[in-house]
Amino acid sequence: MPTWSLYTTTVIVWGLSWHALIYQVGVAPALSIAYRFMLAAAIMIVFCLVTRRRLAFQARDYGLMTVLGLFLFCTNYILFYYATAYLATGLLAVVFSMITVMNMANAAIFFGQKIEGRVAIAAAFGLVGLALTFWSDIAGHELNREVVLGLLLSLLGTLCASLGNMASIGLGKRGVGVVESNTIGMSIGAVASFAFAMLHGAPLVYNMAPSYTISLLFLSLFATVIGFGSFLTLARRIGAARAAYASVLFPILALALSAWFEDYRPQPEAILGVGLILIGNVFALRRAPRSAPVTAE
């Protein structure tokens, strides 16, 4: 699959997925996450059986898959689901774009990867852009406990997602495919989310509203199976830092949906911020002469 196609798929699917979260109501967040990843894992397992993919690996591989499942397919989502109580989903998507910088830092820490100059420039444009986009919602007298809590939860969730990205890249370096690692990781994430829900006394219920089921199906198949498959393949192909810049672009779509459905009204500085994010995207996607992908699959 071409790199541009993987990138476009990630941006569109994940941009839409943030809005889908607002329909996941009536069920405890951790239980909704468990439902989502149980369904996604079931789809992946069937796919692996049909295509005869091997799911037996070494102990160290399973260890990395456990990190992948706990951080990327469990904790990350639990934190963001709780954060939706305090911030508009479009704004949460903007906070998540911080994964660009986190991935650069973590790739340098865990894999000794050099931070490309153009990616650093892209991140600078993106971070200034998201600060402007978010400024009117956190500045001045509007800053309150709820906003701070929402920011902290979403930033911690973003860090967990970045650590999950590192586990996936580590698995790639060990020759484990994206499909196989995601299948086992999602299964672990589903079990962990279900255990978290039960330990916190969440009632074992299901919201029969069509909006809940439709959003659950979208989140499971498109945002999880297709979205993560595209993004993690992209991360292994071009490096975590450049791949993560997709998470600086899809907030634009998420913000547009928030403006339409959640009564979010962007200020002039937010519009300027979106422009800076787009400029940064150009820097992130351009490859320096003679540079090669960090990894290849």
Query: pLDDT tens-digit profile of 173-212?
Result: 999 999 999 999 999 999 999 999 999 999 999 999 999 9
**Rounded distance, CA 285 to CA 277, Å?**
12
Evaluate whether residue 149 is within a structural domain: yes
Whole-prediction pTM: 0.80
User: Structurally, how many domains does the chain consist of?
Assistant: 1
* Mean pLDDT to the nearest integer, 215-231: 91
Evaluate whether residue 52 is within a structural domain: yes
Q: What is the pLDDT of residues 99-130, one digit of tens each?
A: 877 888 898 899 988 877 777 787 788 778 87
Evaluate whether residue 297 is within a structural domain: no
* pLDDT, greater one: 288 or 266: 266
C-beta of residue 34 within 8 angstroms of C-beta of residue 197: yes
Evaluate whether residue 205 is within a structural domain: yes
Q: Identify the pLDDT of residue 70.
A: 97
How high does pLDDT run on average in the chain? 83
Give the domain range for residue 267: 3-285
Tokens of 233: 């393949």
Q: Identify the pLDDT of residue 52.
A: 92
Please report, rounded to a whole number, the percentage of residues in the chain having pLDDT higher than 70: 84
Evaluate whether residue 294 is within a structural domain: no
User: Nearest 5°: phi and psi at 296?
Assistant: -140, 150
Mean pLDDT check: name the lowest of 80-89, 97-106, 126-135, 214-223: 126-135
Q: At what angle do helices 99-111 and 246-261 cross, to 10 degrees?
A: 150
* pLDDT, greater one: 186 or 147: 186
**Given a cut of 80, is residue 54 above it in pLDDT?**
yes
Question: What distances in angstroms separate CA 264 from CA 9, 171, 231, 257, one per listed residue?
Answer: 25, 40, 28, 9
Q: Taking Cα atoms as reference points, which of 214, 208, 250 lies closest to residue 27?
A: 208
Q: Label residue 261 by pLDDT band (50, 70, 90).
A: low
Q: Identify the pLDDT of residue 297.
A: 30
Tokens of 201: 């006394």
* pLDDT, greater one: 94 or 272: 272
Evaluate whether residue 296 is within a structural domain: no
Q: Identify the pLDDT of residue 151.
A: 83
* pLDDT, greater one: 67 or 26: 67
* Mean pLDDT to the nearest integer, 275-290: 64
* Mean pLDDT to the nearest integer, 146-170: 91
Q: Identify the pLDDT of residue 266.
A: 63
Q: Identify the pLDDT of residue 295.
A: 32
Name, in order, each residue with C-beta under 8 angstroms of 51's C-beta and a sequence gap of 6 or more: none
Evaluate whether residue 65 is within a structural domain: yes
Q: Identify the pLDDT of residue 263.
A: 64
DSSP string, 192-258: HHHHHHHHTT--------HHHHHHHHHIIIIIIIIHHHHHHHHHHHH-HHHHHTHHHHHHHHHHHHH
Evaluate whether residue 211 is within a structural domain: yes
